[in-house]
Amino acid sequence: MKYPLSRGTKDILPEEMPFWHYIETASRSLFDLYNYQEIRTPIFEVTDLFERGIGNSTDIVEKEMYTFTDKGDRRLTLRPEGTAPIVRAYIHNGLYKKEKTSKLYYCGPMFRYERPQAGRFRQFHQIGVENLGNAHPFSDAEVISLGVHLFDELGLSGLSVSVNSVGCPVCRPVIEERLKQFIGGSLPFLCEDCQRRFHTKPLRILDCKKPTCKTYFSAMPNIQDSHCHECRDHFNSVIEYIDSLGIPFKIDTQLVRGLDYYTRTTFEIVSDQLGAQNTICGGGRYDGLVDQIGGPPTPAVGFAFGVERAVMVLKELSDLIKKKDPLIFVAPLGFAQQTRCFYLVDELRRAGLKCEMDYSKSDIKSQLKQANKLQTEFTLIYGESEAEKNTILVKHMVEGKQVEIPWENIVEYLHHEHQRLQNASDLTNR
Ligand code: ATP
Ligand code: MG
């Protein structure tokens, strides 16, 4: 192959698109219901934003960023996640001055230089929400509940919610000190990443997925035992609220997530349909981030889910073959009839009727064959005899009948017949 696909990327072909549209449409309408508004930020940002926002000692910043220098010698990075750019936009556009709270959602491609495998790409898509300006544990519960509601709406089952709290700047040092004391002697047996994290961000050792490292974590002190009063109260409220909302969840005291900005609540929604890459959605509270990248101290909470992984689960669980809009095929017989049909196709489309014509054909057999292949609703046949009478023959592909219609009535007739068939199929689908 002369131009191979870049490693870790993929084409999303038309046959997969119904799943994408389904997820995007359901997300937009549910976010609207919760009064979130869409925001779109650039695909690239200055590199410092991510180094400072996500944290220098995270996997993303250490290993996974697509960073380049542009012709003006600026250090730029393709966004690896959505939260830091949205917080940048929140500050840059002074959104905090306009409203006490901002409820924003986004949808788009993200880029991480990771080892490609099932459910893990270098360009992938996230849909997420950010709720800025709310410190109340109700907002953590609302965000978790919104995530669960969304996957319910999409019809995804086999999901489970895990929740934890990673503490705040007051109790984090205590938590980390206890972790370091516990790990101490085992350090040489942990992987290189964990050894480095031990010195930079000990809490993130818990995020290591390597089985050998994990064996050392089973007896790890419970980080919740080191929480300050405020964090303990906040966490207890969050789980009380989500419990009362009827959300099944489990507390996973080792859930820390891979980004440095989290404070207090962290959560994940995991699918039992995905194999190794089983996390669909991750999120949490990040009360320090706005302040850290130059805005006023602003509490915030959000989540993001991976669209590719949601599509994978949807494909497993449901055969969401969306009914395509019915198509009309226009078939001129003989080249002399083609031009008038070409203009008719334009007229039909402007009248809102979806139609197609094959410019390379003008015989009946191959055009009917093509109409069948396209599973059209109607095929319009226009030959010499129709031209003489100024009519057109409408072949009803499903009902099998043929009706000859005066040329000037064709749009009205097709609209009417299309509606009649729709009503009939609505009745049988009831
Ligand atoms: P993971 O543990 O799978 O690496 P993560 O903790 O890096 O996930 P987040 O940064 O929180 O994930 O992103 C949220 C969601 O985005 C993930 O739950 C996943 O569905 C999706 N996601 C993250 N990285 C990728 C990737 N490289 N390819 C496809 N989807 C991804
Ligand atoms: Mg990751």
**Model pLDDT for residues 282-335, shown as the tens digit of each residue:** 999 999 999 999 999 999 999 999 999 999 988 876 666 556 678 999 999 999
Pairing between β-strand 402-406 and β-strand 391-396 as defined by DSSP bridges = antiparallel
**Nearest alpha carbon, ligand 1 atom 7:** 258
Q: Give the residue whose CA is nearest to atom 11 of ligand 1.
A: 282
Tell me how far apart the alpha carbons of residues 203 and 183 are, in angstroms, rounded to a whole number.
11
pLDDT digits (tens, 9 = 90+) for 32-85: 999 999 999 999 999 999 999 999 888 899 999 999 999 999 999 999 999 999
Question: Residue 350: in which H helix or E strand, if any?
Answer: helix 338-350
Which residue owns the Cα nearest ligand 1 atom 28?
Answer: 120
Ramachandran angles phi, psi of 115, nearest 5°: -75, 115
How many A from CA of 123 to the centre of ligand 2? 12
What's residue 323's pLDDT?
62
Phi, psi (deg, nearest 5) at residue 313: -70, -40
CB 256 within 8 A of CB 197: no
- Closest by Cα among 141, 143, 151, 49 to 103: 143
Instruction: Output the pLDDT for position 76.
Output: 98
Q: Read off the tokens for 313.
A: 């689960």
Strand order in the sheet with 355-356: 355-356, 328-332, 378-382, 391-396, 402-406
| Residue 303 Cβ < 6 Å to ligand 1 | no
CB atoms within 10 A of CB 139: 23
284: left (phi over 0), alpha (psi -120 to 50) or beta: left
Smallest Cα–Cα separation from 334: which of 381, 402, 394? 381
Distance from residue 111's CA to the centre of ligand 1 (Å): 11
Q: Element (H or E) spanning 24, and its range?
A: helix 17-33
Ligand 2 center to 258 CA (angstroms):
7
pTM of the predicted protein model: 0.90
Q: Report how far apart the first and last C-alpha atoms of the chain are (Å, whole number).
A: 50
Position 428 scores a pLDDT of 72
Pocket test for ligand 1, best of 23, 124, 154 (most atoms within 8 A of CB): 124
* Residue 306 CA, ligand 1 centroid: distance in Å: 6
Q: Angle 264-156-250 (CA atoms, 0-180°, nearest 5)?
A: 35
Contact present, 175 and 167 (Cβ < 8 Å): yes
**Which tokens is 306 given?**
């991976």
Calculate how far, in angstroms, residue 308's C-alpha sits from the geometric centre of ligand 2: 14
Is the CB of residue 137 below 6 angstroms from any atom belonging to ligand 1?
no
> Which residues, at least 6 apart from 237, have a Cβ–Cβ distance to it below 8 Å?
137, 141
CA neighbours closer than 13 Å in the CB half-sphere of residue 147:
36
pLDDT at 316: 77
Mutate to test the pocket of ligand 1, among 117, 279, 308 (most ligand atoms within 8 A of CB): 279
Tell me what pLDDT residue 119 has.
93
Tokens of 361: 């054909």
Nearest to 47 by CA among 122, 129, 111, 91: 111
- Ligand 2: distance of its center to the CA of 360 in Å? 50
pLDDT for 185: 82
Helix (H, G, I), strand (E, B) or coil at 91: helix
Q: Is 309 in the pocket of ligand 1 (CB under 6 A)?
A: yes
Give the pair of three-digit tokens for residue 315: 């494909």
Task: Report the nearest atom of ligand 1 relative to the CA of 128.
Answer: 14
Amino acid identity of residue 131, one-letter, is: N
Q: What is the pLDDT of residue 211?
A: 87
How does pLDDT run along the chain (430 residues), one tens digit per residue?
A: 799 999 999 999 998 999 999 999 999 999 999 999 999 999 999 999 999 999 988 889 999 999 999 999 999 999 999 999 999 999 999 999 999 999 999 999 999 999 999 999 999 999 999 999 999 999 999 999 999 999 999 988 789 999 999 999 999 999 999 989 988 888 888 898 888 888 888 888 888 888 888 888 878 888 899 999 999 999 999 999 999 999 999 999 999 987 888 999 999 999 888 888 889 999 999 999 999 999 999 999 999 999 999 999 888 766 665 566 789 999 999 999 999 999 999 999 999 999 999 999 999 999 999 999 999 999 999 999 999 999 999 999 989 999 999 999 999 999 999 999 988 877 776 6
Q: 251: CA distance to ligand 1 center in Å?
A: 20
pLDDT in the model for residue 320: 60
pLDDT at 429 (0 to 100): 63
